[in-house]
């Protein structure tokens, strides 16, 4: 299966892609399927997931950080914006980031759509594209444990489902869940605690957590 100009693939640390002379190599379907987190994708959703054993009411903070002064650091999450569009505008058309809303349940999730395709189209000279992931507890932490899940989808569209989003008419192409922990409360660090950077390379069309 020659992959000479690969479409977007999700790339995670430790998962390599074979190349010859800097170009993707000829690999078998079995070898490709063995790279379980590399899949064609159109949509990316970040989910922050917690239960009562971890704490009560996790608040999330998601922001693009290296694109443009009007957008960098503009955060979606409780007491911040619900979305980030061109110029850093909230609740405007064609958002780069869209938050699913505040989940105050003892256990649950909050989700954010990241539109890397639109970001790259509007900022073609920026490589890579970085999205900062932060969180803290609005309620009392217990163990402090929670998860960040990154899911990618091909085709269809995304629709709101409570504070989450669901893909309608497409397929899930990759999903990975990362364990995270913090005992920090919102009252102590309102901006949240760094939990990683989602980094997208629009040239290689890969994404990774750093």
**Does residue 17 fall inside a structural domain?**
no
User: Tell me: the pLDDT tens digits for 111-166?
Assistant: 999 999 999 999 999 999 999 999 999 999 999 999 999 998 989 999 999 999 99
Residue 18 predicted with pLDDT over 50: no
- Counted domains in the chain: 1
**Does residue 60 fall inside a structural domain?**
yes
**Does residue 146 fall inside a structural domain?**
yes
**Does residue 144 fall inside a structural domain?**
yes
Residue 52 has a pLDDT of 96
Q: pLDDT tier at 11 (50, 70, 90 boundaries)?
A: very low
Q: pLDDT tier at 39 (50, 70, 90 boundaries)?
A: low
Residue 37 predicted with pLDDT over 50: no
**Does residue 61 fall inside a structural domain?**
yes
**Does residue 24 fall inside a structural domain?**
no
Task: Please list the alpha-helical segments (H only) found in 92-197.
Answer: 116-122
In percent, the amount of the chain with pLDDT more than 70 equals: 81
pTM: 0.82
Q: Is the distance from CB of 72 to CB of 65 less than 8 angstroms? A: yes
Residue 40 has a pLDDT of 65
Residue 87 main-chain phi, psi, to 5 deg: 80, 5
The dihedral region occupied by 162, where left means phi > 0, alpha psi between -120 and 50, and beta the remainder, is left
Q: Is the distance from CB of 160 to CB of 125 less than 8 angstroms? A: no
Residue whose token pair is 């390379």: 201
Rounded to the nearest integer, the mean pLDDT of the chain is: 84
9-10 and 206-209 strand pairing: parallel
Residue 86 predicted with pLDDT over 50: yes
Residue 204 has a pLDDT of 74
**Does residue 21 fall inside a structural domain?**
no
User: Tell me: the pLDDT tens digits for 192-205?
Assistant: 999 999 998 888 77
Residue whose token pair is 């932490």: 141
- What is the span of the domain harbouring residue 66? 42-197
165-182: b (≥16 Cβ within 10 Å) or e: bebeeeeebbbeeeebeb
**Host H or E run for residue 30:** helix 29-34
Determine the Cα–Cα distance for residues 50 and 130; give it in Å rounded to an integer. 24
- For residues 183-192, give the mean pLDDT: 97
**Does residue 1 fall inside a structural domain?**
no
Residue 147 has a pLDDT of 96
**Host H or E run for residue 158:** strand 157-161
- For residues 84-111, give the mean pLDDT: 96
């Amino acid at each position: 299966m020659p992959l000479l100009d690969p479409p977007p693939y999700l790339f995670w640390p430790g998962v390599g892609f074979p190349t010859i002379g800097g170009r993707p190599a000829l690999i078998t379907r079995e070898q490709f399927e063995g790279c379980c987190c590399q899949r064609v994708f159109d949509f990316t959703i970040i989910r922050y997931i917690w239960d009562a054993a971890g704490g009560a009411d996790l608040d999330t903070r998601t922001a693009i950080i290296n694109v443009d002064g009007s957008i960098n650091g503009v955060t979606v999450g409780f007491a911040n914006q619900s979305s980030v569009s061109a110029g850093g505008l909230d609740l405007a058309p064609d958002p780069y980031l869209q938050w699913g809303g505040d989940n105050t349940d003892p256990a649950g999730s909050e989700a954010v759509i990241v539109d890397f395709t639109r970001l790259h189209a509007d900022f073609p000279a920026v490589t890579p594209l970085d999205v900062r992931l932060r969180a803290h507890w609005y309620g009392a932490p217990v163990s402090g444990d929670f998860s960040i899940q990154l899911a990618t989808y091909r085709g269809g569209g995304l629709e709101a489902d409570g504070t989450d989003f669901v893909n309608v008419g497409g397929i899930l192409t990759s999903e990975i869940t990362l364990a995270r922990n913090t005992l920090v409360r919102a009252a102590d660090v309102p901006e949240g605690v760094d939990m990683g950077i989602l980094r997208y390379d629009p040239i290689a069309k890969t994404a990774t957590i750093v």
